[in-house]
């Protein structure tokens, strides 16, 4: 279908697409248009990665906007939200306005009302519904990207309930659900009352197969020699082969080498594999690539003072990298950009990279097809859906002539097994996880508090609109879980029954829903806050770390004894009664929460980042995640303390500020100045500047010296503090105010420290 033949789109869109080199639609895109996606019809598109899902979304959204409507694009990850926003902003030249919202769960996002296209995570959309964002009722089109994640036990129920609520609020809402891998796309289409485009078409070939022996065995029955040298591992041989140019008999390059994405099952394996494979990629780098990679590596080292940062930079200098959730977000962004630019030739990643972020490669190697499962107590095979998501990263139009995705076999029997288990297999059906108790108690309270339902009968009616209700064969299961959770909410004073028999949220219940808390987290926090008027920072950190909303650090081998001793030594600071050591599971959870709390305490005591990562066995991204979650939960605890009139609110507020800035209490005021943060605050404090007010009126020579003789930094900090004359022209640093960690004055404005956690 020619782009100028697409009906009901904005008049500027066809020419824009043609200017971008798109003259006709791919077959699945054409099917979507024929199904009415540009005319307001709902659609489920189950098509391979790189087959044009984003353009289907754009056709739907921009057509809705052209009709005077508003569109919402729901993504599973914050990183994907930023990526999509950047893509959609290319259309602002035509008067389209784009907004993105991913955090601050107690906001109604009023500013988004003026935007034509809004990009948000499913959690953020859920929170906007809870907080009564009025523009939610004005939505005409909602796109759900990676919709197969309704199968995820943690995030799936939120996406499922959010879509059900949006459809309930907007009966004529167009829903466009996108996924590369849905085993039961027809069920999702039935649930959403949508047309279905289910296609295996790709713009370039993707061959799937298995490497065994000295050859690649493909799903089309062909084999290609790919020899593994005596000193090599198969992954290294595949990366080497992918990088090698194909030449003809005259020595002319027929096909330039490409990049490789290697999926492994743990962070440690990702780091170790990248270190080894850097020796494979390094000889294939040209001089200009080496120079560019050196710059990227320097940026990576500047993100955090940790061994992880240094190890990543060392690998990147040689053209390889690792990618996992333990990295800081800036680390991941730098790696992804360098990989897309084909500077980094090989990335070793955990499966998180398969979740939608645009990282194309010539070849994908699924090195590890088993991973550890705590539930199973051992190694378990990955799902077909996960492996196909990884394989779908191979090959991108305009970048690769083809894509290849391979697993690795150690025996002929395993070769046959991998073909049967993954290469030839269809993805598993997507199944709702809504009936799990944590999801049910959370979403029941939100549904009652936001006025979607006010009785058991209307709750049942609402739940009948969910995917779970269309899939379950367990008669009464949903109502049984619902009734159990309603009792829990009532016992904890989050809901009550009126004289007329209606269900309504209490004032406390409204607060819990608005704060986006799991009701069990709220109950845990309230119980703890009622036990002490002036709890310690550690006590508060441990309290929020015991909630279901905090993902705790696990106890490594040998740590149970260490943290048991810590628990007894600091028992008086902890809020609540510790479980008995004989209740092994509960006691271990208590210790895991303590370990997580002590990480937060170390951060708030200004312990160096590298010491924290070493002591707790985490990466800089883990610190960021724990601090973000603790800041949110402590903010919620402060609101709950205020709601209940508890005297602990001031202690909670101070603990929140300390963990937010990563400082001791004497630096809270100073660290709150934008651009200062933990390390610069300490330097200024040691130079005799202890408050925002003192900084506002400080001697500029003292500030310049304390900030390591960096004029631009000093000017910015003084301006943010409200100094009347922040300019540093002709200012000489006061030698008596220079920090001890600087051997001699520096006159450039580069900075190797982190002014704040946000600069990781």
Tens digit of each residue's pLDDT (9 = 90 or more) over 5-23? 999 999 999 999 999 999 9
Question: Going from the N-terminus, what domains does the chain have, and what CATH number goes with each?
Answer: 3-198 (3.40.50.300), 206-423 (3.40.50.300), 437-514 (1.10.10.10), 519-662 (1.10.3380.30), 667-759 (no CATH)
**469 three-class SS:** helix
pLDDT given at position 249 = 64
How much is the pLDDT for 576? 87
Q: How far is CA 704 from CA 128, 694, 720, 722, 737, in A?
A: 44, 14, 15, 16, 9
Reported as a single tens digit per residue, the pLDDT across 465-498 is: 999 999 987 778 888 989 999 999 999 999 999 9
**Per-residue pLDDT at 375 exceeds 90:** no
Token pair for 243? 């990088």
pLDDT score recorded for residue 255: 67
pLDDT tier at 742 (50, 70, 90 boundaries)?
very low
Q: Which DSSP string do the residues of 329-370 spell out, in sequence order?
A: HHHHHHHHHHHHTTSS-EEEE-GGGGSS----BSEEEE---E
Give the pLDDT confidence score for residue 628 in this predicted structure.
93
Mean pLDDT for the stretch of residues 703-727: 90
The pLDDT of 701-717, averaged and rounded, is 90
* 587 vs 255, higher pLDDT: 587
Residue 82: pLDDT above 90?
A: no
Q: Which residue has the higher pLDDT, 102 or 461?
A: 461
What's the confidence (pLDDT) of residue 349?
92
Average pLDDT value for the chain: 90
Q: Name every residue whose Cβ is closer than 8 Å to that of residue 671 and which is 6 or more positions away in sequence.
A: 661, 662, 663, 677, 678, 681, 756
- Average pLDDT, stretch 711-716? 90
Per-residue pLDDT of 48-70, as tens digits, reads 887 889 999 999 999 999 999 99
Higher pLDDT, 103 or 457: 457
Give the mean model confidence (pLDDT) for residues 196-219: 93
Structure tokens at 13: 């869109």
Three-class secondary structure of residue 104 per DSSP = coil
- Taking the C-alpha atoms of residue 358 and residue 344, their distance in angstroms, rounded to an integer, is 15
Specify the 3-state DSSP secondary structure of 220: coil
């Amino acid at each position: 279908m020619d782009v100028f033949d697409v009906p009901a789109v904005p008049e500027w869109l066809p020419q824009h697409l043609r200017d971008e080199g798109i003259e006709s639609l791919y077959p699945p895109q054409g099917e979507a248009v024929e199904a009415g996606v540009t005319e307001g019809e709902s659609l489920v598109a189950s098509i391979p990665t790189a087959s044009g899902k984003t353009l289907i979304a754009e056709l739907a959204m921009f057509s809705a906007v052209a009709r005077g409507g508003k569109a919402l694009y729901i993504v599973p990850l914050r990183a994907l939200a930023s990526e999509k926003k950047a893509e959609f902003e290319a259309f602002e030249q035509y008067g389209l306005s784009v907004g993105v919202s991913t955090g601050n769960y107690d906001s109604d996002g009023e500013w988004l009302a003026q935007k034509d296209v809004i990009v948000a995570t499913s959690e953020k959309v859920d929170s906007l519904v809870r907080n009564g964002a009025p523009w939610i009722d004005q939505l005409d089109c909602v796109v759900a990207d990676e919709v197969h994640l309704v199968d995820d036990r943690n995030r799936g129920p939120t996406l499922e309930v959010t879509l059900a609520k949006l459809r309930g609020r907007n009966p004529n809402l167009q829903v466009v659900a996108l996924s590369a891998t849905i085993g039961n796309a027809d069920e999702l289409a039935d649930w959403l009352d949508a047309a279905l485009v289910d296609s295996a078409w790709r713009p370039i070939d993707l061959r799937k197969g298995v490497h065994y022996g000295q050859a690649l065995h493909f799903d089309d029955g062909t084999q290609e020699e790919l020899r593994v040298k005596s000193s090599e591992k198969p992954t290294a041989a595949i990366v080497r082969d992918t990088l090698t140019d194909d030449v003809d008999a005259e020595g002319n390059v027929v096909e330039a080498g490409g990049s490789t994405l290697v999926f492994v099952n743990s962070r440690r394996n990702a780091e170790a594999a990248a270190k080894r494979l850097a020796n494979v990629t390094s000889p294939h780098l040209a001089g200009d690539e080496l120079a560019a990679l050196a710059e990227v590596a320097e940026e990576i080292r500047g993100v955090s003072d940790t061994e992880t940062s240094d190890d990543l930079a060392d690998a990147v200098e040689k053209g390889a990298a690792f990618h996992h959730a333990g990295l800081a977000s800036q680390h991941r962004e730098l790696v992804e950009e360098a990989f897309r630019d084909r500077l980094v030739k090989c990335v070793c990643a955990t499966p998180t990279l398969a979740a939608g972020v645009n990282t194309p490669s010539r070849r994908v190697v699924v090195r590890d097809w088993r991973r550890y499962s705590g539930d199973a107590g051992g190694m378990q095979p990955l799902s077909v859906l996960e492996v196909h998501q990884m394989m779908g990263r191979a090959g991108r139009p305009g970048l690769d002539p083809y894509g290849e995705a391979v697993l690795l076999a150690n025996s002929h029997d395993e070769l046959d097994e991998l073909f049967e288990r993954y290469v030839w297999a269809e993805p598993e059906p997507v199944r709702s996880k809504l009936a799990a108790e944590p999801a049910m108690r959370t979403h029941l309270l939100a549904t009652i508090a936001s006025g979607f339902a006010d009785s058991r009968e209307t709750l049942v009616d609402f739940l009948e609109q969910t995917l779970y209700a269309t899939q379950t064969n367990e008669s009464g299961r949903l109502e049984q879980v619902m009734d159990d959770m309603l009792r829990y909410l009532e016992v904890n004073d989050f809901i009550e029954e009126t004289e007329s028999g209606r269900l309504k949220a209490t004032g406390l219940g409204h607060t819990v829903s608005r704060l986006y808390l799991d009701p069990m987290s709220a109950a845990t926090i309230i119980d703890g806050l009622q036990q002490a008027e002036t709890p310690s920072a550690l006590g508060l950190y441990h309290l929020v770390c015991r909630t279901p909303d905090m993902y705790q650090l696990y106890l490594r081998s040998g740590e149970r004894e260490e943290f048991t001793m810590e628990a007894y030594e600091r028992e008086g600071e902890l809020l609540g009664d510790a479980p008995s050591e004989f209740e092994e599971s509960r006691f271990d959870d208590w210790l895991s929460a303590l370990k997580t709390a002590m990480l937060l305490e170390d951060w708030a005591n200004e312990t160096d980042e590298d010491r924290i990562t070493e002591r707790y066995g985490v990466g800089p991204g883990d610190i960021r995640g724990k601090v973000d979650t603790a800041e949110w939960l402590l903010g919620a605890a402060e609101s709950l303390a205020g709601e209940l009139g508890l005297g602990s609110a001031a202690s909670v507020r101070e603990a929140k500020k300390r963990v937010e800035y990563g400082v001791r209490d004497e630096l809270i005021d100073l660290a709150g100045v934008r651009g200062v943060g933990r390390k610069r605050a300490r330097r200024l404090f040691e130079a005799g500047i202890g408050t925002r007010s003192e900084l506002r009126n400080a001697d500029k020579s003292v500030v310049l010296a304390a900030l390591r003789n960096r004029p631009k930094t000093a000017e910015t900090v003084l301006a943010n503090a409200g100094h009347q004359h922040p300019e540093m022209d002709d200012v000489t640093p006061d030698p008596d105010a220079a920090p001890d960690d600087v051997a001699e004055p520096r006159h450039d404005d580069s900075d190797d420290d982190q002014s704040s956690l946000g600069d990781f």
